[in-house]
Copies of this chain bind each other. A is one copy, B any other.
Amino acid sequence: MRVAIIGYGGVGRAFVQLLYDKKDYLNREGLQIQVNYIIGKNGGIFNSKGIDLKDLIEYGASERDITKYPSGGSNYVSFEKMLQNRDVDVVIELTPTNKETGEPAMTHIKKSLECGINVVTANKGPILLAYKELKTIAIKNSAILGIGCTTGGALPSINGGIIDLAGADILSIEGVLNGTSNFIINEMENSGCTYLDALKKAQQLGIAETDPSLDVEGWDTATKLVILTNVLMNEQKSLEDLSVEGITKITAEDVKKCLHEGKKYKLLGKAVKENGETHLTVGLEKLDRTHPLYGVDGKNKAVRYISDVLGDLTIIGGASGVIPAGASILRDLINIYRGYRF
């Protein structure tokens, strides 16, 4: 299986490292994966026989300097050239996310699928904005679109819904989908501190970003929820279709009172089908001990599906960081290799 990596940031490099570290596993499973292209903004690396990953890792190239890589690096390597050559089986799209236009990933994904090239992506933008359109292009061109990394990284939320609930109709989705918010609430529970102190600690630990708004105001959760709903409940929702509340207004007193009631606050994304309509919400909810998501603490993520014939399914996991993110790209790639048509 010949692969092109578009976008060579942290996840791309972790993916390359993983491909190298996992060579025994891949051999044992009969999976032959070679990286023919790594493409950045101003060029990239090309080797029709597969880039030597050991050399590449030792060289330590980043997106900025891949064009100078001695073995195949060039300003002339581009996405368009790759499409002309038609010499890859899977495009791995890892450029930065844009939730307004989806670009440049939208174009990369569309054009690849139109050429019958399979795509694996961690890029939420195009999937949030145009899943149905992209899926239709994929089917029309007998290509596969793997998006298992877009809704919680290592947490197999999308694939769990597609594969583990195949044959069942999903009636509702509930998810603790944002690790940063969950860590902050948990920190307030454990130490009794204020929201701002918990946020500061999360920032010091590198869990929350300097501008944490996407996470703490609920929009990351909302994005993942919209994707899950569209993919698994056959809807065409957008971020305008749901009410979103974050965790920024929660006080130490609220948290204390909730614990006293034997409950825990969770930032919950919910999609519920009622009378043929699917309603989406993101906001804080108090969960009691009998709720399967009650125990999802720290940076953990989880999703719970209620289905018609396969009952309740709760999936808890979602290790964070570039290695699990790279590993969830590899997971989709292997499942495509094994023939799965998502």
A residues whose Cβ falls under 8 Å from a Cβ of B: 18, 22, 25, 154, 156, 159-160, 163-169, 289-290, 292, 294-295, 297, 300, 309-319, 323-324, 326-328, 330-331, 333-335, 338-342
Contacts and interface: CB of A to CB of B under 8 A. Distances in A.
A168 B314 CA distance: 20
B317 A154 contact: no
Given A160-B156, A297-B290, A330-B167, A318 B311 contact: yes
Ranked nearest first, the 4 interchain pairs of A and B with the lowest CB-CB distance are: A311-B319, A156-B164, A339-B339, A309-B327
A327 B164 CA distance: 11
A163 B169 contact: no
Contact of A314 (B315, B334, B339): B315
A218 to B, nearest CB: 24
A12 to B, nearest CB: 16
A309 B313 CA distance: 23
A169 B334 CA distance: 13
B334 A167 contact: yes
Contacts of A165: 156, 331
Contacts of A160: 156, 160, 164, 315
A341 B338 CA distance: 5
Contacts of A168: 327, 331
